Structure 1
Amino acid sequence: MTSNFNPDESHAAPDPAQGRFATLTFARDVAVPVSVLWSAWTAPAARAVWAAPTPSVTVEFLEADTRVGGREVSLCKVEGRPDVRCDCGWLDLQPGLRSVNYEVISSEGVTQAAALVTAAFSGTQDRSRLVVTVQLSSLTADSAAGYRQGFGAGLDTLAGVARRTMLLERVIRAPRTIVWNTWMNAETLPQWWGPEGFSCRTARIDLRTGGEWLFDMIGPDGTIYPNHHRYIEVRPEERIRYALLWGENGPKHADAWAALEDQDGATKVTLGMVFSTEAEFQQAKGFGAVELGQQTLGKLERFVSAR
């Protein structure tokens, strides 16, 4: 995980008496459902929000594929210092229960540390618990201090992200290819997007990585809601990652993603949003964002069924 190691932490040569091996354990209790905490932990869009251990660190994701056998590659950047690279590989993913991954930390081509990370999840629809165990081997220096600080700060940020994450799920009785082609299609997307009674008026639409959708959502009473989606990543038939802005180049109010998975001949659609602040999330919940979001996915389901 990109948050495991803090490049701001100074690293002296290891003390032979202490050795270069350590087992670190971290635990966090968060007042969110297990499904939300799991998504915040694993979804690339959410991980990009909480990955940096401190504000002075910038994290750039080069690759992100959260599935067994998939890899995540990121760079931790601190001004005036060499980049720190984290190569992560997913070994086990049991949704809502457990994840296991390895990671290798390097800088300027020199490996600094390797670790096996096990995350265990438990809880209810109201509260979740995450316990992370890091089995660490420092190869060039004692990295335990950096891991303790970086991972601890990262998990604090993760907890905050989870508390402002909205997660919607729906199983649509149609193949994933059809659902994807209905979503990422400039002609069909505006026809079903939005809650019941809402329509879309498009100014620009370019559904690809680096593209955008600039549109007005028009409510049943004629109220106009300016929207601007900026597409950060588009992986065909797998996932979309985008930023939600209030109008053209307006302030961002959420980092969002949509993921599609095969499920017994149907397609499981997950729509997630990390709001910019917890206050915005609570305000959105207050005016019925969860119900309105489910209406949007319901319109997608009906649109697909009618085709």
Structure 2
Amino acid sequence: MQQTANQEVLSSRVIEAPVNVVYDFFAKPALLKTWWGPEGFTNTIHEFDLKPGGKWILTMHGPEKGNYENSAVFTQVVPQRLVAWTRLSQPLFDMEVGFEELGNDQTRISFKMIFASVEECEKMRKFVAPKNEENFDRLQRAIQEGGQL
């Protein structure tokens, strides 16, 4: 897939926590399920094999109604730096989650969603960009609440 900026949605946030803590909140399913997704959603993680070729299968439960089945396969895993996957369920896109240590117990986490076409990206952008911000809000709260395992 040829990648251009017009096919990408990029969101990032500085989280008040060291990179190892932020990464653990993604890499450990018991922590990940506490914050993944937009406000009000809960998660059931059925499979989470964090390695290239490993599967991630989860059900996101909407706050009012609806269960949303999600499946993906991990394509790249560099602990505390990068996790990438390809979604196998709709909407289809590639995802990269970056972790950048900033010092002073701060980490920049970034989401890059890469769509197959400019049209698909534009259709999804108005929805996913604000939902990514909600996701970052939930992550910061989960870390502040001390959900370490």
> 1:230 and 2:73 equivalent?
yes
- CA drift at 1:173: 0.8
Query: Which structure has greater helix proportion?
Result: 2
> 1:182 and 2:25 equivalent?
yes
Name which of 277, 299, 307 aligns with 2:138: 299
Give the Cα separation in 1 of the matches to 2:109 and 2:84. Answer: 14
Query: Which structure has greater strand proportion?
Result: 1
Q: Write the deviation string for residues 21-78 of structure 1: whole angstroms up to 9, x where unpaired.
A: xxxxxxxxxxxxxxxxxxxxxxxxxxxx43xxxxxxxxxxxxxxxxxxxxxxxxxxxx
Q: Secondary structure at the match of 1:226?
A: strand
- CA drift at 1:168: 0.4
So what's the TM-score if we normalise by structure 1?
Answer: 0.45
- CA drift at 1:189: 1.0
Give the Cα separation in 1 of the matches to 2:59 and 2:118. Answer: 25
Q: Check conservation: 2:23, 2:80, Cα contact below 8 A.
A: yes
- CA drift at 1:214: 0.5
Name which of 69, 93, 104 aligns with 1:254: 93
- CA drift at 1:255: 0.8
- CA drift at 1:276: 2.1
Give the corresponding residue for 2:59.
Answer: 216
Aligned length: 145
Name which of 191, 200, 207 aligns with 2:50: 207
Give the Cα separation in 1 of the matches to 2:38 and 2:73. Answer: 20
Q: Which amino acid aligns with 1:180?
A: Y
Q: Secondary structure at the match of 1:222?
A: coil
- CA drift at 1:252: 6.6
Q: CA RMSD in A?
A: 1.5
Q: Secondary structure at the match of 1:191?
A: coil
Q: Write the deviation string for residues 277-303 of structure 1: whole angstroms up to 9, x where unpaired.
A: 2222122124x2100011011111111
Pairing 1:66-215 to 2, within 5 Å after superposition: 158=3, 161-215=4-58
Q: Check conservation: 2:41, 2:60, Cα contact below 8 A.
A: yes
Cα distance change of structure 1 residues 221 and 252 upon mapping to structure 2, 3 Å threshold = closer
Gaps of 5+ in 2: none
So what's the TM-score if we normalise by structure 2?
Answer: 0.90
> 1:273 and 2:113 equivalent?
yes
Give the Cα separation in 2 of the matches to 1:297 and 1:207. Answer: 21
Gaps of 5+ in 1: 1-48, 51-157
Name which of 266, 272, 284 aligns with 2:124: 284
Q: Secondary structure at the match of 1:291?
A: helix
Give the corresponding residue for 1:128.
Answer: none
Give the Cα separation in 1 of the matches to 2:95 and 2:129. Answer: 14
Q: Which amino acid aligns with 1:183?
A: F
Q: Check conservation: 1:185, 1:207, Cα contact below 8 A.
A: no
